[in-house]
Structure 1
Amino acid sequence: MSKGKDTEAAGAVHQYLIKQNRPYSATDIFSNLHQKYGKTSVVRVCEELAKEGEIIEKIYGKQKVYCADQGKLPSVNENELKEMDESIKQLNDRLKTSREKCRESEQVLSSLNSSISTEDAKIKITDLSQKIKHGEDKLKSLKSAGNHVTEKEKEAIYNLHSKNMKHWRKRKRMTKDILDAILEGYPKTKKTLYEEIGIETDEEYNVQLPQ
């Protein structure tokens, strides 16, 4: 690299360290300056600036870090420090508010992304409208039908059903009592008896009496 390029790199490194006012390694400086200057050049100018007393060099094991010489930075009075602190506080408040707004916007965006699209909503509305109309037409047809069951007829059906269930239970109980009496003197199993006389049970056909 030319001498002029090194001079330019030295000025850029020096100004960067003054502006940031925090320690960096030569590699960090090379990256943070967007690799505008060669890494070898940045390492060389850091060492030269340190030798000239323009910047401070600190060695931690095998690692070298560089920072601006605090003694050469302009002094700041108490009022300026207070103004800086107040400015920092205001900026932090603005940052907090911006983060909250960003979080709210992300929640809204997430909600919108998970919602049904306008086109899908239109299709769903059309489908539901057709189903509602079909249901209404069916209900209207049922209400206007002339063959519907009257309350009196419905009551008669329920009474007949109840009567038949009582007969069913009674006859089932009588049959069981008779068969149990036969089995007391029957030398074979109940299954054999049922097969010989042709008895079929509700349980055999998974039939249960209504409650």
Structure 2
Amino acid sequence: MSKSKESAANQAVLVYMIKQNRPYSVQDVFQNMGKDLGKTACTKAMESLAAEGKLKEKVYGKQKVYVADQSQYPAVDDTEIKAMDEKIAQLNDQIKLHSDGIRTLESELHLFSGVLSTAAARDELSNIYPEIEKLKAKLAKLKEGRVLISKEEKDKVYNNREKYVKEWRKRKRIASDIFNSILEGYPKTKKQLFEDIGVETDEDCNVKVPDK
């Protein structure tokens, strides 16, 4: 780093530390100053300023903390300190009051977040009302005893049912024959066989082939 850049970095860090007037590590200054200088430049600047006596250095284990030389600040008497403490207490009370208010508002917002807006509710109603009218019309037809399905559709449903039940019985019989053949040379029970190969029967599922 050139002398001019080093001098500029020292000045920037010094101005910042005097303005803040609080203890900071190199990492704190590096982060708080927007990382414009780079960590190496911050380290060199703070070490140089400490060597010149413009910053005071305190070592806590492996951590170094720097603070502006306090002799450059005007003395503060006890009355001022007391007034500052009172002001801090007042501000803390205000912070607590505002924080409580924020929590209350956040709770209310949470309650309303799951509620439909007026516009959304109107859209929902516009979809529901036609459906209600359709259901009313269907109910009226049922009350009148009107036929809602043709004979052809009804016959088709019954024929399909008969076909599928017949196929169900056929496959159940084939499976039963296969298992009986296996059991002739199987040393355990039928239940144990089903458990070993992971078979679930109709009875296990509480279903049975319709009688008709």
TM norm structure 1:
0.54
- Unmatched 5+ stretches in structure 1: 139-211
Aligned length: 138
Indicate the SS of the match to 1:13. helix
- Structure 1 pair 120–45 and aligned structure 2 pair: CA distance change class (3 A): closer
Query: Which residue in 2 is equivalent to 1:24?
Result: 24
Is 1:109 the counterpart of 2:81? The answer is no
Counterpart residue type for residue 3 of structure 1: K
Shift, 1:50, TM fit = 0.8
Aligned-pair identity in percent equals 43
Counterpart residue type for residue 23 of structure 1: P
Shift, 1:128, TM fit = 7.2
User: Deviations along 1:50-92, whole A, 9 cap, x unmatched?
Assistant: 1111111122333322112234432112232122123212221
Counterpart residue type for residue 46 of structure 1: M
Give the alignment of 1:67-86 within 5 angstroms.
67-86=67-86
Give the alignment of 1:8-157 within 5 angstroms.
8-123=8-123, 125=125, 127=128
Provide the C-alpha distance between the structure 2 equivalents of 1:46 and 1:19, rounded to a whole number of angstroms: 15
Indicate the SS of the match to 2:7. helix
Indicate the SS of the match to 1:24. coil
Larger Rg computed on CA atoms = 1
Provide the C-alpha distance between the structure 2 equivalents of 1:51 and 1:76, rounded to a whole number of angstroms: 27
User: Deviations along 1:67-120, whole A, 9 cap, x unmatched?
Assistant: 122344321122321221232122212212221222122122212211123234
Is 1:3 the counterpart of 2:3? The answer is yes
Indicate the SS of the match to 2:113. helix
Shift, 1:125, TM fit = 5.0
